[in-house]
């Protein structure tokens, strides 16, 4: 039976980035995945690095989001250097588009919230917004410009992170997923795999929306899939620099000229089908923002499953089982939160201290108090 300092169930962007951080400080690490790592939510994503809370309920995520944004240049630099691959990073800002009088009336409140959170944001008139992005519909009334927002190509990023981890010495096993956690008394001593058992001082559950299917993990990681449908468009008649937001819908330009349009949020179990209604929602939003996209070629459509938790916040940190950590539930923000998640798990494993308070995201928050074990 092989033994490691740390074993990780799941090789998406969260599992592979944790593996890379741990290997970078000399730990012996293995990642186990049911398939080729990085083909689930991390592949399906839009790749935006957008710390602005989408609604007041997500405000508690801000300290984590801001810390992650600060760690991005260092983390991405490490990934690109080790893998020899570019991840398509673009720090060109985002425009939040406002169409109605009611939305426009709320601008100063939104700006105030951004500034209080330390995020740069400015109001633009229709003309100012169209000067930045000439393809914008004349129907918009105003926009909020967030100049610091960025995006990357999540498919390249995930692939490069897996490769960087491998080159740092991480052993990556495809087609050998985790079936169950192995407990010895109150200690988690590794994983029961599809083929045999693996022993480790530390076990990390990072299997995205599939985490709750690993026997023993569900009480700590009660995640469910939230389907997001997406499409990639290409259109010579439209030049887009910045990410555009219209409510929950968005358009994200890539360096290769494609425009990624998304996304639905649907609770349909593990179904990944692309539907007429899903594509209609995305196209309606896209065409209302950039009318010239009506000539665009639809290059690809797909759907992915975000790992969502009962309160829509990530599930991060140690459990009441010695040696067991959870890193999932990143929902719509897993790409944004990649560097900070990897850093905090590494800090905990090496020193049992973390540089950002992750208590609000504890895996123990879903358990009735009476059932919480004392470690
Ligand atoms: C349409 C869409 C758009 C998004 N847009 C953004 C965005 O713009 N910005 C942002 O920050 N976030 C975005 N997200 C969210 C982000 O993509 C996710 O939060 C993130 O990718 C989750 O990464 P993960 O590694 O936890 O999960 P995943 O990428 O799903 O990886 C989980 C891995 O675990 C493996 N696995 C499954 N079962 C087992 C098992 N039993 N044992 C071992 N391994 C197993 C899977 O094969 C997979 O490789 C988006 C998501 C979607 C779907």
For 82-101, write each residue's pLDDT tens digit.
Answer: 999 999 999 999 999 999 98
Residue 103 in this model has a pLDDT that exceeds 90 = no
| Substitution site in 155, 274, 335 for ligand 1 pocket (most atoms within 8 Å of beta carbon) | 335
Q: How many helices (H) and strands (E) does the chain have?
A: 9, 18
For a ligand 1 pocket test, name from 45, 216, 266 the mutation site with the most ligand atoms within 8 angstroms of its C-beta: 45
Q: What is the mean pLDDT of residues 129-148?
A: 96
Establish whether residue 135 lines the binding site of ligand 1, counting it when its CB lies within 6 angstroms of any ligand atom. no
Q: In angstroms, what is the span from residue 238 Cα to ligand 1's centroid?
A: 30
Does the pLDDT of residue 370 top 70, yes or no?
no
Q: Which atom of ligand 1 is nearest to the CA of 306?
A: 53
* 18, 20, 22, 28: CA torsion to nearest 10: 120
Quick check: 55 pLDDT over 80?
Answer: no
pLDDT digits (tens, 9 = 90+) for 281-327: 999 999 999 999 999 999 999 999 999 999 999 999 999 999 999 99
Question: With 70 as the cut, is the pLDDT of residue 161 above it?
Answer: yes
**For 24-92, what is the HEC assignment?**
HCCCCEEEECCCCCCCCHHHHCCCEECCCCCCHHHHHHHHHHHHHHHHHHHHHHHHHHHHCCCCCCECC
- Ligand 1 centroid to Cα of residue 42, in Å, is 4
Q: What percent of the chain has pLDDT over 90?
A: 89
Instruction: Find out whether the beta carbon of 159 lies less than 6 Å from any atom of ligand 1.
Output: no
| Most informative mutation of 47, 210, 303, 336 for ligand 1 (most atoms within 8 A of CB) | 210
Nearest to 331 by CA among 215, 231, 211, 244: 211
Residue 372 has pLDDT above 70, yes or no: no
Average pLDDT, the chain: 95
User: Does ligand 1 have an atom closer than 6 angstroms to the CB of 52?
Assistant: no
Ligand 1 lined by 177 (C-beta under 6 Å): yes
Q: Is 340 in the pocket of ligand 1 (CB under 6 A)?
A: no
Mean pLDDT for 175-201 is 97
Q: What is the pLDDT of residue 373?
A: 52
pTM for the model: 0.97
What is the structure's pLDDT at 263?
97
Q: Is 367 exposed, middle or buried (0-12, 13-18, 19+ CB in 10 A)?
A: middle
What is the structure's pLDDT at 371? 58
The reply to whether ligand 1 has any atom less than 6 angstroms from the CB of 14 is yes
Q: Is the CB of 98 under 6 A from ligand 1?
A: no
- CB under 8 Å to 238, separation ≥6 — which residues? 135, 259, 290, 292, 293, 296
CA of 48, closest atom in ligand 1 = 8
Ligand 1 midpoint to CA 328 (Å): 9
Using a 6 Å cutoff on CB, does residue 225 contact ligand 1?
no
pLDDT reported for residue 145: 97
Using the predicted structure, report yes or no on whether residue 374 has a pLDDT greater than 90: no
Contact 324, 220 (CB under 8 A): yes
Span from the CA of 305 to the centroid of ligand 1 (angstroms): 7
Closest ligand 1 atom to 178 CA: 42
Q: Confirm or reject: Cβ of 176 under 6 Å from ligand 1.
A: no
pLDDT band for position 375 (cuts 50, 70, 90): very low
Whether residue 198 has pLDDT greater than 60? yes
Residues recorded for the chain: 375
Q: Which residue has the higher pLDDT, 71 or 55?
A: 71
Give me the residue label for tokens 């029961």. Answer: 192
- Mean pLDDT across 143-169: 97
pLDDT at 133: 97
Q: Is 262 in the pocket of ligand 1 (CB under 6 A)?
A: yes
* Beta carbons of 42 and 36 less than 8 angstroms apart: no
Residue 363 pLDDT greater than 80, yes or no: yes
Q: What is the mean pLDDT of residues 159-183?
A: 98
User: Mean pLDDT over residues 58-76, rounded?
Assistant: 94
Q: What is the Å distance from ligand 1's center to 131 Cα? A: 36
Of 142, 140, 105, the C-alpha closest to 123 is 142
| CA–CA separation, 208 and 206 (whole Å) | 6
């Amino acid at each position: 039976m092989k033994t490691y300092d740390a074993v990780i169930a799941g090789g998406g962007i969260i599992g592979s980035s944790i593996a890379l951080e741990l290997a970078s400080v000399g730990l012996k690490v293995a990642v186990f995945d049911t398939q080729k790592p990085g083909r689930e939510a991390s592949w399906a994503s839009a790749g935006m690095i957008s710390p602005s809370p989408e609604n007041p309920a997500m405000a508690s995520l801000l300290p984590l989001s801001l810390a992650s944004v600060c760690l991005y240049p260092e983390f991405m630099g490490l990934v690109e250097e080790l893998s020899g691959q570019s991840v398509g990073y673009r720090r060109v800002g985002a425009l939040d588009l406002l169409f109605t009088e009611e939305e426009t009336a709320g601008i100063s409140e939104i700006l105030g919230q951004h500034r209080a959170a330390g995020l740069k944001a400015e109001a633009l008139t229709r003309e100012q917004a169209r000067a930045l992005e000439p393809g914008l519909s004349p129907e918009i009334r105003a926009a909020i410009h967030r100049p610091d927002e960025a995006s990357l190509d999540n498919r390249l990023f995930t692939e490069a992170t897996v490769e960087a981890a491998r080159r740092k010495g991480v052993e990556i096993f495809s087609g050998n997923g985790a079936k169950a956690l192995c407990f010895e008394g109150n200690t988690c001593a590794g994983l029961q795999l599809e083929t045999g058992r693996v022993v480790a001082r530390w076990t990390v559950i990072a299997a995205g929306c599939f985490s709750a299917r690993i026997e023993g993990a569900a009480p700590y990681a009660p995640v469910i899939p939230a389907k997001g449908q997406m499409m990639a468009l290409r259109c010579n008649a439209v030049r887009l620099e910045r990410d555009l937001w219209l409510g929950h819908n968005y358009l994200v330009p890539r360096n290769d000229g494609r425009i990624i349009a998304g996304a639905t949020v649907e609770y349909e179990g593990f179904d990944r089908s692309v539907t007429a209604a899903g594509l209609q929602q995305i196209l309606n939003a896209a065409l209302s923002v950039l009318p010239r996209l009506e000539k665009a070629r639809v290059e690809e459509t797909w759907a992915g499953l975000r790992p969502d938790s009962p309160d829509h916040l990530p599930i991060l940190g140690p459990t009441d089982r010695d040696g067991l950590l959870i890193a999932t539930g990143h929902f719509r923000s897993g790409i944004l939160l990649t560097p900070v998640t990897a850093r905090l798990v590494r800090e905990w494993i090496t020193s049992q201290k973390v540089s950002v308070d992750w208590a609000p995201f504890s895996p123990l928050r879903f358990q009735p108090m009476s059932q919480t074990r004392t470690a």
